[in-house]
């Protein structure tokens, strides 16, 4: 009996040592697909309370980003309420933008670390082969669809960032330009304070991803305006330099962590133990 009590006490102490983790999946995927990441976390940090948010699964991931931010936000805030010492967010692909939207809409959040795993944080201008109904269109033509009222009902349209039509992006995209505080006259202090409040923002991506385009978008970098090849790196981005969302503030504090990992395809990030061991585990304490 005494041994059993000691074991139970040990389990309670171990569980209390780690903050809860909330995981959000990517586009055309579902919560269950992130179970491999959940198992990696539990294996490394036994007793961790890991929540896979089962909302907007599969085809529903194409619903407007604002709708998804609202839905996931309610679930994430519920976990926050039950976790007074704070939580961690680990969000994959499109889920990384959803989570950033939740953070920026919740300036008093209690998120300690936000892990953005291969997420198009500065937008997407590339592969759409996973959208079978659009695969006949070239990326240079996508703006004709995405920068329309119908195109803005699709999640991808909400973060489609065409460097050859930046004016149309700012004019017609109803999500990402606002999230990035890129619209003159509509600066949101909450968009900045929600990021600055984080203890750590961990951005993970790599050149062999094959879906996020440019892959540097996962690090908050993007194509130069008017180019589909030349990259403006994160710390040279105008949005970074004017600290539009607080990324520069985090960086100057040493709390913006970037990992560039080669050899990982997009669909393999969340099940890759090497990536977890080197880039994720240490931040989920």
Which of 29, 209, 239, 251 is catalytic? The answer is: 209
What are the Cα distances from residue 272, in Å, to 40, 88, 97, 154, 261? 9, 19, 21, 29, 11
Q: Answer yes or no: 165 catalytic.
A: no
What are the Cα distances from residue 12, in Å, to 6, 16, 117, 242? 10, 6, 30, 45
Give the max Cα distance, the chain.
71
User: What 3-state class would DSSP assign to 90?
Assistant: strand
Q: Answer yes or no: 266 catalytic.
A: yes
Distance CA(169)–CA(157), nearest Å, equals: 10
Which of 93, 118, 155, 218 is catalytic? The answer is: 93
Q: Answer yes or no: 225 catalytic.
A: no
Distance CA(130)–CA(199), nearest Å, equals: 34
H or E segment to which residue 7 belongs = helix 2-16
Counting every residue written for the chain, the total comes to 285
Annotated catalytic residues are 93, 209, 266
């Amino acid at each position: 009996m005494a041994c059993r009590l000691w074991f139970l006490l040990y389990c309670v102490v171990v569980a209390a040592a780690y903050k809860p983790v909330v995981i959000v999946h990517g586009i055309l995927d579902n919560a269950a697909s992130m179970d491999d990441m959940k198992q990696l976390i539990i294996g490394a940090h036994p007793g961790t309370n890991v929540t896979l948010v089962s909302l907007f699964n599969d085809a529903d991931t194409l619903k407007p980003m604002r709708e998804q931010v609202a839905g996931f936000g309610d679930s994430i805030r519920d976990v926050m309420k039950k976790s007074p010492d704070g939580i961690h967010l680990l969000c994959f692909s499109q889920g990384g933008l959803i989570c950033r939207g939740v953070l920026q809409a919740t300036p008093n959040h209690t998120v300690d670390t936000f892990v953005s795993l291969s997420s198009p944080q500065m937008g997407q201008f590339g592969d759409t082969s996973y959208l079978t109904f659009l695969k006949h269109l070239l990326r240079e033509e996508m703006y004709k669809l995405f920068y329309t009222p119908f195109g803005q009902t699709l999640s991808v349209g909400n973060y489609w960032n065409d460097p050859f039509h930046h004016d149309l992006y700012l004019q017609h995209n109803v999500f990402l330009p606002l999230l990035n505080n890129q619209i003159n006259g509509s600066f949101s202090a909450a968009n900045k304070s929600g990021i600055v409040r984080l203890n750590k923002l961990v951005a993970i991506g790599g050149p062999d991803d094959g879906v996020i385009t440019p892959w540097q978008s996962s690090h908050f970098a993007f194509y130069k305006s008017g180019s589909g090849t030349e990259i403006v790196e994160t710390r040279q981005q105008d949005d970074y330099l004017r600290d539009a969302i607080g990324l520069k503030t985090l960086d100057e504090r040493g709390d913006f962590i970037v990992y560039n990992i080669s050899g990982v395809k997009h669909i393999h990030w969340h099940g890759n133990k090497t990536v977890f061991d080197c880039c994720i585990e240490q931040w989920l304490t």
